């Protein structure tokens, strides 16, 4: 009998969402076999909620990883952690005897899978950031890092137990397949659950945030850190003509580290008061996320040297909102080639300012049809089906 084990020691951000999509699909479609979910104990309330909202299904089991195991696994160096993660997975495989184990975060397991003990079952993984094919930053260290990543992946792909690699960056799929055609390398949709949002919900949020009438809202949503390009965007806002500044609302929404929040608040205080800046520094979940995108006029993905896809693109597509994106990597290529908005050098406040001036004076062209297609392709159902249909061994 098919017995699939989902394994993840991380539960924040996309990790809980990805697990939820797979569990929900299993509960709704009830395929043959058994699903064992091995994750942090803090995931249990989400698991119970999914169970309660679905028909009674006895083929899904939740197994909490103790906090002590999590702390022991996550401590120390990245190299050591890879082996600790792998060994912990093998312990659970010995205990529950799955026919197939899915590494929900393949990236961290690579050294353990390559050089550690052999798995007792078939292995597949979700590959988050295959960045070895991107142009490296200047310097010897960066080039050596790319060579190291390539060599590690070559070694991993030779392991006979590795069956499928689900790749969140489609631009890497062909290159990985060429490394070892035996492994089934599959482009994976970046899943987002969609909601139907009412005009009343949008206006309620607009009122709660005190957004001034007539302002064009630029939304930067997600986990707010140094990689999201907040500082160059703030500098670009400060370079704009006051008449343009008075038409803009910059909406920042998402969790943020306290030290970085203090830094960003200091940067915000230096921006002209003609620009309205609204900060919601907290984690926003579920249906509420989509209300923010419905409220916005443009979504920002001016990330710094971002690798792969970003769920913000999908959320913007669901709401039919154009993107202002970095021109770097797969994300920049997708926005440009599919006409999802406009791209620019996200490290340059000057080029960002020029793009903002264009948006506020002439507007930008984009394809509503392609936004809709992107949203449909990257549904939570498509994500789960793509994975579970392959885990048959």
Interatomic CA distance for residues 19 and 381, integer angstroms: 12
Report residue 379 as tokens: 């549904």
Domain shared by 237 and 271, yes or no: yes
Report residue 313 as tokens: 């693109």
Q: What is the pLDDT of residue 136?
A: 67
Instruction: Specify whether the CB–CB gap between 342 and 364 falls below 8 A.
Output: yes
Residue 122 has pLDDT above 90, yes or no: yes
**Measuring CA to CA, which residue among 10, 59, 64, 50 is closest to residue 31?**
59
339 CB neighbour count, 10 Å cutoff: 16
Residue 130 has pLDDT above 90, yes or no: no
In a domain, 353, yes or no: yes
3-state class percentages of the chain: helix first, strand second, coil last, to nearest 5: 50, 20, 35
Backbone angles phi, psi at 323, to 5 degrees: -110, 145
Domain shared by 83 and 185, yes or no: yes
Q: What is the pLDDT of residue 76?
A: 87
Instruction: Specify whether the CB–CB gap between 225 and 259 falls below 8 A.
Output: no
Q: Where are the alpha helices (DSSP H) in the chain?
A: 14-29, 44-52, 67-74, 78-96, 106-115, 140-157, 173-179, 199-208, 230-239, 242-245, 258-269, 287-295, 311-318, 329-337, 349-361, 368-377, 380-388
Average pLDDT over residues 114-128: 96
Domain carrying residue 213 = 199-377
Domain shared by 32 and 120, yes or no: yes
Q: What is the pLDDT of residue 393?
A: 60
Into how many domains does the chain fold?
A: 2
* 3-state secondary structure at position 366: coil
How far is C-alpha 136 from the geometric centre of its chain's CA atoms? 22
Instruction: Specify whether the CB–CB gap between 255 and 223 falls below 8 A.
Output: yes
pLDDT in tens, 193-222: 888 899 999 999 999 999 999 999 999 999
Domain shared by 64 and 48, yes or no: yes
In a domain, 20, yes or no: yes
Q: What is the pLDDT of residue 379?
A: 85
Q: What is the pLDDT of residue 44?
A: 94
Pairing mode, if any, of strands 276-280 and 298-301? unpaired
Residue 137 has pLDDT above 80, yes or no: no
In a domain, 393, yes or no: no
Q: What is the pLDDT of residue 141?
A: 78
Q: What is the pLDDT of residue 376?
A: 86
In a domain, 346, yes or no: yes
What pLDDT band is residue 144 in, cutting at 50, 70 and 90? confident
How far is C-alpha 366 from the geometric centre of its chain's CA atoms? 23
Domain shared by 43 and 68, yes or no: yes
Domain shared by 41 and 129, yes or no: yes
Domain shared by 175 and 35, yes or no: yes
pLDDT in tens, 248-257: 999 999 999 9
Interatomic CA distance for residues 360 and 241, integer angstroms: 11
Domain shared by 43 and 57, yes or no: yes
Interatomic CA distance for residues 100 and 391, integer angstroms: 7
Domain shared by 171 and 222, yes or no: no
The contacts of residue 348 (CB under 8 Å, 6+ apart) are: 232
Strand order in the sheet with 276-280: 276-280, 248-253, 216-221, 298-301, 323-326, 341-344
The contacts of residue 351 (CB under 8 Å, 6+ apart) are: 344, 345
Q: Between these two residues, 137 and 72, which has the higher pLDDT value?
A: 72
Domain shared by 373 and 384, yes or no: no
pLDDT in tens, 84-101: 999 999 999 999 999 999
In a domain, 238, yes or no: yes
Q: Give pTM, 2 decimals.
A: 0.76
350: CATH: 3.40.50.2000
Interatomic CA distance for residues 184 and 111, integer angstroms: 19
In a domain, 159, yes or no: yes
Q: Which of 131-135, 148-152, 190-194 has the highest mean pLDDT?
A: 148-152
Work out the mean pLDDT of the chain and round it to a whole number: 93
Domain shared by 238 and 250, yes or no: yes
In a domain, 16, yes or no: yes
Interatomic CA distance for residues 336 and 133, integer angstroms: 19
How far is C-alpha 24 from the geometric centre of its chain's CA atoms? 19
Q: Is 365 exposed, middle or buried (0-12, 13-18, 19+ CB in 10 A)?
A: exposed
Domain shared by 142 and 279, yes or no: no
């Amino acid at each position: 009998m098919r017995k699939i084990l989902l394994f993840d020691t991380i539960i924040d951000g996309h990790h809980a969402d990805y697990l939820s999509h797979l569990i929900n699909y299993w509960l709704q479609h009830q395929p043959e076999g058994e699903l064992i979910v091995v994750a942090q104990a803090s995931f249990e309330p989400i698991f119970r909620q999914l169970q309660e909202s679905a028909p009674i299904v006895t083929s899904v089991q939740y197994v909490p990883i103790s906090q002590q195991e999590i702390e022991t696994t996550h401590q120390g160096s990245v190299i050591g952690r890879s082996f600790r993660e792998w060994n912990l997975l093998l312990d659970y495989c010995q205990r529950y005897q799955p026919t197939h184990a899915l590494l929900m975060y393949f990236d961290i397991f690579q050294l353990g899978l390559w050089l550690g003990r052999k798995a007792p079952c078939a292995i597949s993984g979700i590959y988050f950031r295959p960045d070895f094919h991107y142009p490296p930053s200047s310097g010897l260290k960066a080039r050596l890092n790319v060579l190291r990543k390539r060599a590690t992946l070559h070694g991993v792909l030779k392991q006979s137990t590795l069956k499928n690699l689900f790749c969140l960056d489609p631009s890497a799929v062909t290159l990985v397949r060429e490394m070892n055609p035996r492994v089934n390398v599959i482009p994976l949709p970046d899943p987002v659950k969609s909601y139907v949002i009412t005009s009343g919900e949008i206006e309620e949020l607009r009122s709660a945030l005190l957004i001034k009438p007539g302002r064009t809202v630029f939304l930067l949503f997600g986990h707010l850190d140094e990689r999201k390009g907040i500082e160059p965007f703030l500098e670009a806002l400060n370079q704009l003509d006051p008449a343009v500044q008075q038409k803009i609302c910059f909406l920042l929404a998402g969790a943020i580290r306290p030290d970085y929040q203090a830094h960003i608040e200091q940067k915000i205080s230096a921006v002209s008061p003609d620009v309205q800046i609204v900060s919601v520094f907290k984690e926003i979940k579920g249906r509420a996320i989509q209300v923010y995108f419905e409220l916005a006029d443009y979504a920002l993905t001016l990330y710094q040297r971002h690798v792969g896809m970003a769920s913000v693109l999908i959320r913007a597509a669901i709401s039919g909102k154009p993107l202002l994106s970095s021109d770097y990597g797969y994300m920049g290529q997708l926005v440009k080639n599919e006409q999802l908005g406009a791209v620019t050098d996200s490290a340059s406040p000057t080029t960002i300012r020029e793009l903002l001036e264009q948006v506020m004076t002439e507007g930008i062209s984009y394809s509503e049809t392609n936004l809709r297609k992107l949203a449909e392709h990257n549904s939570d159902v498509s994500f789960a089906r793509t994975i579970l249909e392959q885990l048959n061994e």
